[in-house]
Amino acid sequence: MLNVVTSAFFVLIAVLEYLLPHREDWRASDGQVLHDLGHSWFGTGLGGLAGNLTIGFLAPLLAAALWGGQAWWPSDLPFVLQLGIVYLVADFGRYWQHRIHHLVPFLWRFHALHHSVERMSVFKTSRSHFVERYLQQVFMFGLLILLGCPLEMLVWYIIPNSVIGLLDHSNLDVQLGPLERVIMGPKGHRLHHSAAPEDMDTNFGSAIVLWDVVFRTFRDPTRVPQPEVVGIRDDPIPSDFLRQYFSPFLWARLTAPKPALEAAPEE
Ligand SMILES: [Zn+2]
Ligand SMILES: [Zn+2]
């Protein structure tokens, strides 16, 4: 179900961003489309799967050890309130998982791949490293599963959030108006992909902006201009797939200062 919905939106957005681009110059190929798809499968796909398996294995054991396997999930509450709790808890987990990937230099090695894009496109949505996506899954859904949240409830977060993610990375000029202050839309997430540090270290939320507002990292896209340049200054990520995949383990070499050109001998 999730794959059908996201695949349909992926194709639709890919066609629309070609026909109605936010930036004409972002339509040109950067030679990374196959790499982006590779990271979608070997990074996001496998990392998410490993995260799900870990949660599925550990959560029942932990719940049994902590509170005798009792389900704390408030199933008696109206559906809308349960859904509200899912959005608050999942996005809280995502906010902190994302923020510590920017704060902790060792974790940034795994997140840099996602930021190493010089143009926005729907193909960039799942260009993420295995380790980052593994941690993302655990942070977003670990606590909810531990509390006994039914999987049917999570689907109501995962599908809309996946579609928002596709739109957020697209080269489409989607205007959410006042909703930009509620939903983390394309304009807000595009600021996060800016090469300017004052933009990049803001807007860490996934589906909603609430936790960015609470922790004072929200940059209101209705009040500041969209970034001229996206990506990373002095981007250390190589251009070939294998070295991209293993870049966190090649970090010292990739970030070593380039040897200065030898001075020309004086005449
Ligand atoms: Zn980031
Ligand atoms: Zn992104």
Ligand 1 centroid from CA 215, angstroms: 16
pLDDT for residue 266: 56
Mean pLDDT of all residues belonging to the chain: 93
| Whole-number pLDDT of residue 257 | 84
Domain boundaries, the chain: 31-250
Tens digit of each residue's pLDDT (9 = 90 or more) over 72-89: 899 999 999 999 999 999
Q: What is the pLDDT of residue 265?
A: 57
Residue 258: what pLDDT?
77
Give the number of whichever ligand sits closest to the CA of residue 190. 2
Q: Which two structure tokens, joined as six digits, stand for 72?
A: 């704390």
| Ligand nearest to C-alpha 94 | 1
Q: 204 C-alpha to center of ligand 1: Å?
A: 7
> What 3-state DSSP class applies to 208?
strand
Taking the CA atoms of 93, 44, 42 and 200 in sequence, report the sign of the dihedral they define.
negative
The residues of the chain scoring below 50 in pLDDT are: none
Cβ pair 83, 156 in contact under 8 A: yes
Q: 112 CA distance to ligand 1 centroid (A)?
A: 8
C-beta neighbour count of 50 within 10 angstroms: 16
For residue 68, the model assigns a pLDDT of 84
- The pTM of the full predicted model, rounded to 2 decimals, is 0.92
> What pLDDT score does 261 carry?
59
Distance (angstroms) between ligand 2 centre and the Cα of 186 equals 9
Residue owning tokens 């009040």: 223
Q: Report the pLDDT value the prediction gives residue 70, as an integer from 0 to 100.
A: 80
